[in-house]
Amino acid sequence: MDYLDFLHSANRPAIRQLRQETESRLAQPKKGFLRFREPYEAIQHLRAKFTDFSSDAVTIGQADELNQADRQLVYEAMRAFMPWRKGPFNIFGIEIDSEWQSQRKWNRIAPMLPDLSGKVIADIGCNNGYYMFRTIPHQPKAVIGFEPFLQHYYCFNTLNQLAGVDNLFMEMMGVEQINLFPDCFDLILLMGIIYHRISPVEMLREIRAALRPGGTLILESQAIPGDEPVALFPESRYAKVPGTYFVPTAACLKNWLTRVGFAEVEIFCCHPMSNEEQRRTDWMTFESYSDFIDPTNPSLTVEGYPAPLRVFLKATNPG
C-alpha cells in the first residue's frame, strides 16, 4: 500500500520526485550510508510472529522465535543503530533501554488524543518511530513519519521490516516539506521540534495548513518557567544543545498557536525535566540530562539559563 494513493490533496508528483531522489542517493555505496543500510539488509529475511504495541516497550518478536545465529544478527543490527534516543523496545527478547523513557510522554498524550480509527496521522521528527508504533492499537488508516536523518530512517525501516505493519510509512523529509501535504492529516504530532526552528510561527502556520478542518495538533516543547508570554533566545547553546532558537513559556506557545489561527488551544501538561526520564544507558552512552544541568543548582542549565520544563498543548484547526 502507498498512502499517496488515497491522500488526494498531497502534492503527489513532488513527493514522488523527492522519494526517487532519496532512493538514488541512498543507493550510492558511500560509507556513511552503508553503515546503516548494511544492518537493515542483514536481517531482511526475518519477520516477527508476535508484536505488541500497547505496552511501554514496543515489542517486536519473542526470544524463542529465533535460532542463536539469527538472534546474534538481530543484536548486531540493533547495536549498529546506537545511540538509541527513543524507546524502550523489546526486539526478539533483546531489551533496548533508550535514553528517553518515551512511554512517559506517550502516557501524557494518549488521554488527549481524538478517536484515531480510520484517521491519517503525521509524526514530525518521528525519530525511530516509537510513537508511530504506539498509535497502531488505535487503528489509524495510515501513519506517516517525517524524519530527515539517515540513522533514524534506516532504524525505523529495520524495525518495521521485522514488525510488518503495512500502514506505517516514513518519509526522509523534514518539516520543511510539510507544505507538500495541504489538508492531509487528522492528527499531527509535533514533539521536540519547535525550539529547533528559526521561524517557529511560520512553521506553525504551515502545520495548520497540513491539517484537515477539525484536525488536531499535539505540540510538545521544551519551555522555560513563567507566566509571561515570552521566549528565551540563547546566545549559542541551551542545555548544551546547538541549534536551539526560541525556548518559549507555555503562555508564549499558546499565543503562537492562537495567532496562526488554531482554535481550542489548551495547555494540558507541564512538568520539569529529570534524569529519570532522560539518562545515559547501555544503548546511549553519550552525555544526557544530568550533564546538561548546573551540578550546583538544578534549576539552571550549564549555561546559566532556566532549566527546561516540558509543556504539552492541544489545538484544533478550525478550517
Ligand X SMILES: C[S@@+](CC[C@H](N)C(=O)[O-])C[C@H]1O[C@@H](n2cnc3c(N)ncnc32)[C@H](O)[C@@H]1O
Residues that bind ligand X (CB under 6 A): 86, 102, 124-125, 127, 146-149, 152, 174-176, 191-193, 220
The residue among 33 and 149 lying less far from ligand X, judged by its C-beta, is: 149
The residue among 48 and 96 lying less far from ligand X, judged by its C-beta, is: 96
Which grid cell sits at 241?
Answer: 544543545
The residue among 151 and 316 lying less far from ligand X, judged by its C-beta, is: 151
State the DSSP code for 36. Answer: H
> Residue 192 CB, nearest distance to ligand X (Å)?
3
The residues, ordered by sequence, that sit 6+ positions from 219 with a Cβ below 8 Å of its Cβ are 190, 191, 194, 253, 257, 312, 313, 314, 315
The residue among 46 and 232 lying less far from ligand X, judged by its C-beta, is: 232
Torsion angle in degrees (nearest 10) through CA of 293, 299, 301, 303: -130
- Are 113 and 187 contacting, i.e. CB atoms less than 8 angstroms apart? yes
> Residue 9 CB, nearest distance to ligand X (Å)?
21
Spatial CA neighbour of 145 closest among 75, 112, 193, 198? 193
Q: Look-up: residue for cell 525505523?
A: 156
Q: How many CB atoms lie within 10 A of CB 25?
A: 12
> Residue 189 CB, nearest distance to ligand X (Å)?
7
Spatial CA neighbour of 90 closest among 284, 287, 285, 283? 283
**H-helix or E-strand containing 108?**
helix 102-109
> Residue 130 CB, nearest distance to ligand X (Å)?
7
The residue among 59 and 98 lying less far from ligand X, judged by its C-beta, is: 98
Q: β-strands 120-124, 185-191: how paired?
A: parallel
Tell me what percent of the chain is helix, strand and coil, each rounded to the nearest 5.
35, 25, 40
> Residue 234 CB, nearest distance to ligand X (Å)?
16
The residue among 86 and 138 lying less far from ligand X, judged by its C-beta, is: 86
> Residue 154 CB, nearest distance to ligand X (Å)?
13
Q: How many CB atoms lie within 10 A of CB 164?
A: 12
Q: β-strands 231-232, 247-248: how paired?
A: antiparallel
> Residue 221 CB, nearest distance to ligand X (Å)?
9
The three-state DSSP-derived secondary structure of 226-249 is: CCCCCEECCCCCECCECCCCCEEC
The residue among 191 and 247 lying less far from ligand X, judged by its C-beta, is: 191
The residue among 62 and 177 lying less far from ligand X, judged by its C-beta, is: 177
> Residue 1 CB, nearest distance to ligand X (Å)?
24
